[in-house]
Amino acid sequence: MKLRFHGDLAELQPGIGILLQEIGAREAEDGLAVQVERSSEGDLEVGLDQANTKAYIRYSRKHQFFRALGLLVQHGTNGEAFQIREQQHLDTVGPMFDLSRNAVLTVDSFKLMLRKMALMGMNTVMLYLEDTYEINDEPYFGYMRGRYTQAELKEIDDYADQFGIEAFPSIQTLAHLEEFLKWEPVKEYKDTKGALLVGYDKTDELVEKMISAASAPFRSRKIHIGMDEAEELGRGKYLDKNGYTSRFDIMVSHLDKVLEITRRKGLKAMMWSDMFLKLASGTGSDHYDKSTQIPEEMARRIPKDVDMVYWDYNHTEEEDYLSQIAQHQPLGCNLVYAGGVWVFNTFGVNYGLSLKASDVALNVSKKQGIREAYATMWGDDGMESNPYIALLGLQFYAEHAYTEGSPDWEKLAERVKFCTGIEADAFLQMKYLDETPGSEPDNCKQSNPSKFLLYQDVLLGLFDKQIEGLEMSAHYAKVEQDIRSRRDADAKLDYIFDVPEKLAGVLRRKSEIGIELKRAYDAGDQDTMKRIASEVLPEISDAVKALRAAHRTQWLSMFKPFGWEVIDIRYGGVINRLDTASQRIFDYVDGKIQRIEELEQERLLFSTTNRFTNKGVGWSSFYYRMASPNVFFHVMNPF
């Protein structure tokens, strides 16, 4: 499609050239005339006349123009007249990229995501940076972790600004700093394994350096200061030095110091709100406790000029969100919502839960006057997944922002196809990596078998009892075929399905092999055992090698290389253990050993969070617990 723009294009021109190339259009003198106008009404308007000779775009905020540009090309290509008028019901909407759990997006990959966001009409992006940014005089901060340079962050910010997207940092100024505090040379900053030693002059100096370094590359004056999940605060070195002090007192005192810094630097701070709800709850640890009430004294001591970001990723009932919002009201702070597109701790995306929970949450937020929402994509335990396969989820958030109620699925599907080049149904296949037989509807209990069935040991079978009686092999055979059948070799992002397809192929072979092996051993069926050792396990090993190769290619095209070594080691563990399993079986059937002790062991449930208690097929948060029940590491003093 050829376009010729008229109007004040000074601030738009750089972004126009980039996005037209992204969607296969271009500017030309003989192109369709497009009148571009600023609107004072706040709405977005785009249309094409009956004669297919004139089009118009009216917008009030820069990012709205680029959504409108996408809508014009999407609907105008067929030459039929149309008119679209949209009101933005969320003033601020965008993703939070987790750039701290090994998967640090390259600058080019980040730019690709920004182009997709611009087409969607998103206008903000939060960069979650625990220690993956540079701080002068702190060489261990982000050491060997793929940290961004100041120049890289500025390049990301400059690129985002072309589309009216506000980029800003989300850092940690209290806890979640395990990867920095693990280094012996910085032990003076350390209270516990992941929490800073607050109330200490050098820590205060470090926090100021963090805030200065993280905010310097960005135009935005917003900064997220973290402070979530700080349950261990004051329970390590702080306790030794100061004796018992309530966590609330410690936290508020530290918050006051952090906000003194942000105010002085002209920054507007936001923070996660969960710790205040936890500290006010009867248990001291549950921020979803509906009986929690913020005491008047607590509310009085919490500063009002910090935005509170309440996060909820998995509730699917309206009353849960209404309760959370009501609990925050005594704080007197502006409230922001953070939901999730579930790439957490899996190879896929839990779209069933993500879309269901986000739909309810965003509808409640809009009705309750919450005007700012973020789609988090956490990379817990090393990030086997990636944000590219979560683009359908981001599109869902974008369409919610421009819809009074819930988005129309057919229109959303058309939008995601246009913005990403991938069919919505192809994205949805990612959910079936974990939405398996035995799962709750929409996988609302967050089972993640795609990960634990890959990493579990064939001889030890830690999850075999969890999946006993379920047709996992048949399920993954279907998933493999369904992903393959929906792929489009002409789509630029088609390669993102290489890993899911190959993983399904591995799990088709591997998911139930431990059960079959144990059954054959117990029955004394040495022929079956020999066939497994000589044919099946080597075939699985070859499939894992192919999966690893595809995953390596994908990782190195999206992320910096730092962190890949973790996934590489995990794949190596799977392959080596398959080899050992074969050798152990051969030794047994050849009479070299009298028994296989691993197969002598009774199979027990991994946890009570399983299908037998209506909790889905099972969940495990950590690779090292999936791979072995034995000691991976042992820390005498975790603080």
pLDDT grade for 46, boundaries at 50, 70 and 90: very high
Which tops the pLDDT comparison, 559 or 635?
Answer: 559
Helix axes 391-401, 107-120, angle to 10 degrees: 40
pLDDT at residue number 289: 85
pLDDT at residue number 638: 56
Which strands, in side-by-side order, build the sheet including 54-59? 26-27, 2-6, 32-38, 54-59, 44-48, 82-86
Segment 332-339 mean pLDDT: 97
Q: How far apart are CA 456 and CA 243, in angstroms?
A: 43
Structure-token pair, residue 141: 């901060």
Structure-token pair, residue 206: 């470090």
The secondary structure of the chain in percent helix, strand, coil, rounded to multiples of 5, reads 50, 10, 40
Strand, helix or coil at 38? strand
Average pLDDT across the chain, whole number: 96
Whether this prediction's pTM lies above 0.95 is answered by yes
90: which residues sit within 8 A by CB, 6+ positions away? Answer: 362, 365, 366, 371, 372, 373, 400, 401
Q: Is the dihedral of CA 287, 291, 295, 299 positive or negative?
A: positive
Domain ranges in the chain? 2-86, 92-430, 445-627
Q: How far apart are CA 630 and CA 451, in angstroms?
A: 19
pLDDT at residue number 41: 85
Segment 26-50 mean pLDDT: 94
Fold exhibited by the domain 92-430? TIM Barrel (3.20.20)
| Dihedral class, residue 165 (left if φ above 0, else alpha if ψ from -120 to 50, else beta) | beta
Q: How far apart are CA 449 and CA 394, in angstroms?
A: 24
Q: pLDDT at residue 110 above 60? A: yes
pLDDT at residue number 419: 98
Q: Does domain 445-627 have CATH number 1.20.120.670?
A: yes
pLDDT at residue number 285: 67
Q: How far apart are CA 75 and CA 309, in angstroms?
A: 36
| Dihedral class, residue 610 (left if φ above 0, else alpha if ψ from -120 to 50, else beta) | beta
Segment 494-520 mean pLDDT: 98
pLDDT at residue number 151: 98
Q: Of all residues in the chain, what percent carry a pLDDT higher than 90?
A: 94
pLDDT at residue number 634: 67
Taking alpha carbons only, the member of 67, 60, 66 closest to residue 39 is: 60
Q: How far apart are CA 119 and CA 393, in angstroms?
A: 14
* DSSP secondary structure code for residue 536 in this structure: I
Return the exposure string of 519-531: e unless at least 16 CB atoms fall within 10 Å of the residue's CB, then b: ebbeeeeeebbbe
Contact (CB, 8 A) for 395 and 419: yes
617: which residues sit within 8 A by CB, 6+ positions away? Answer: 436, 437, 438, 439, 447, 449, 466, 467, 470, 610, 611
Number of Cα atoms under 13 Å in the Cβ half of residue 329: 10
pLDDT at residue number 639: 57
Tens of pLDDT, residue by residue over 126-169, are 999 999 999 999 999 999 999 999 999 999 999 999 999 999 99
Q: What are phi and psi of 48, to 5 degrees?
A: -135, 135
pLDDT grade for 611, boundaries at 50, 70 and 90: confident
The 3-class SS string of 375-412 reads EEECCHHHCCCCCHHHHHHHHHHHHHHCCCCCCCHHHH
Architecture of the domain whose range is 2-86: 2-Layer Sandwich (3.30)
Helix axes 62-76, 13-22, angle to 10 degrees: 30
Taking alpha carbons only, the member of 332, 336, 370, 356 closest to residue 431 is: 356
One DSSP character per residue, 482-533 reads: HHHHT--TTSTTGGGGHHHHHHHHHHHHHTTHHHHHHHHHHHT-HHHHHHII
pLDDT grade for 636, boundaries at 50, 70 and 90: low
Taking alpha carbons only, the member of 315, 204, 189 closest to residue 256 is: 204
568: which residues sit within 8 A by CB, 6+ positions away? Answer: 548, 552
